[in-house]
Structure 1
Amino acid sequence: MSAPPSPQLPPFDPADPLGIDDLLSDEDRAVRTTVRRWAGDRVLPHIAEWYERGELPGIRDLARELGSLGALGMALTGYGCAGASHVQYGLACLELEAADSGIRSLVSVQGSLAMYAIWRFGSEEQKQRWLPDMASGEIIGCFGLTEPDHGSDPGNMRTHAKRDGTDWVLTGRKMWITNGSVAGAAVVWAQTDDGIRGFLVPAGTPGFSAPEITHKWSLRASVTSELVLDEVRLPADAVLPGAKGLGGPLRCLGHARYGIVWGSMGAARASFEAALDYSRTREQFGRPIGGFQLTQAKLADMAVELHKGLLLAHHLGRRFDAGRLRPEQISFGKLNNVREAIEICRTARTILGANGISLEYPVMRHATNLESVLTYEGTVEMHQLVLGKALTGLDAFR
């Protein structure tokens, strides 16, 4: 009896060595293609110049364009939001950060922090007032949690809100706030007699200002600001009624961290692709450097970590869409993927040699951006302790 014919295997794809695309639907691929094309047309031709100048010109136009793509508040439903799956939102973050972390940060802060806070914890009146214009990009939002002296320990924030009749009066400072100086509305978290509460602070409110932070060597193509609240008086309906305690802002951070799990792999992919292309064309000792064993070992290790990270992102996305994603699992993804993305960028830089530090290539820009991504939305140490507590049942935070 003759053996059955062997199945015809698909060819090996260096861009997708594990066949991860098989996990995607046609709609998923369409979302990815749309965002990749937009980033290629609107960001990549200019990003090196923006980064070198330390600015993000035309941010309001970019926000409106991202709104027209449905990328703002992408996984939220109603109020003009796209209602996309969390996997599709992750794919969008991947493509945006493959262009630049600053662009993905703009989208993450808008949708996963500011809009999500209103969508999840706001009143119906607040949702109707703010979310449609934020989904379209007409209004940019920011999220004020981190303070100059309290980053990883937001429970001890000093910003406070006091009752004065039916009004609230807010005083304090927030630091490292993406979108702050261009935001039409800030979601600000403050201590009250009833615990930590969230407040909607419209731009232009007396006592509220958002000076821009300069002299950054990371996330240079991103608007980063301080928020100053000097006895800012707000009406009673400025408070987010559904959030009491630290659980409110932490839940928002979980959504933002999820986007980082995907986005960091976009920065890693762009750096890996730059190194792979360079290795095929750069010649030393009479042949392309990609033909040397040490270079191939680096490329193989980079590819393994990149596509392991993508598999992890897909797995977490499917769990998110099934309503089964735990905060500890988001910490797992954020810790692994950002840490590995930085290592991929650093290894890619060694393959490019001295050219690796030039803005003619994306590698050093991504590497420096990822140093910020490693810190914000929870440092390496914080996510290690989250997982440590989950694994042992013992709290080592204090």
Structure 2
Amino acid sequence: MRAINRFHVMDAIRRHGPIARVEISDRTELSATTVSAITAALLDDRLIVTRQEGAIRDAARGRPRVMLELNPDAAHVVGVKLSPHHITVAVTNFRADLLASLSLPIRLDRQPDAVILDLVEDGIRRCVLDAGLDIEEIVGICVGLPGVVERAGGVCRQSPVFRERNVPVAAGLKRRFPQAAVSIDSDVNLVTLAEHWFGDARGLDDFLVVSVEHGLGLGILHNGELFRGANGLSPDLGDLTVRPPETSNAARLASIASEAGILAEAEVLLRGTEHERAFRLDRGMAKVLELAGAGDRAILALLAGVGEALGFAIANLITLFAPPKVILAGAAMEAEAALLGPLRRTVAMLVPPSLADVAEIVVHRWSDDMWARGAAAMTLRDLYGAPWGTTGPAPRPPPP
């Protein structure tokens, strides 16, 4: 309970700081005594610092009110985003302010698993150096990647990034960075947290994120917490069965509506044309969007089918969770009317009338930095709830 209360106090300071103790008490519904005890310990650990607000005076004593905010130098963390074609790394301070980032265009899906971890290590060390820090100053590392991720065990069960299954990503990086706490998570969970911390969902504690990338990711935030299954597993939207098996295999949503599914179908449609070269150059999605804009009937029909399939899935998600907002992202969303039109029409047709006005569907375009910053935010959440002692994470000044 102490750890939970400490987390809520820290989170209130992060979200609303500089903030007075009385306002922390109001926002967290904790007693003034509890807030005072927690903030005293946080000040002793140098996780937060005070700020005198001269214009804001205590009504009872007439003195400037003491405001509290996070100490940006209390800790430094690293977030990493892996995709089949990129490594993105971000270094932040304790407030999640971006200090440095880099993006490495590398075909990871062609590399052995051990080589991928070596590349991640190189990227982290380079980005930490760019931030003007020493690697020993990094207290936490979080890696986000697509697929089925077991956060509790630090194992990637399956991902388009790795050739093998059950890759012990966290253990491999822990050997390379023994001073840091290392964790992994699904990339969509990280961007869901980034939306909650930095994006348009900052004021919401309940919303869904659907990412249409190589696979289909689903992030669920409920009461300010990410939903996870057993062992920290996050749901993979692409694994949903969208129609019963006609022969021996059921159709999965990812085979229809993910970026990989779109490209596979588009490559078949464009085989033997002047456009097929784009797929060999890894510019398939750009070509699909170009042809959709030019009114290519076959591509428009393909994207309409994708929109209907996604709309079917999202309508069921709205029926289950009744979220006030559903955030969509992915390169395919650039196909505005061709894909989003059928998607919205399908949702409107299938959502029960009683929920028709509940969920707003919006499209966000995220940079790779946003994903990596979400990974850093995930590490900071872990640190906020960590049982700091009176030694604190930040180096203490030498005695006079």
**Normalized against structure 2, the TM-score is what?**
0.24
More helix by share: 1
More strand by share: 2
**Normalized against structure 1, the TM-score is what?**
0.24
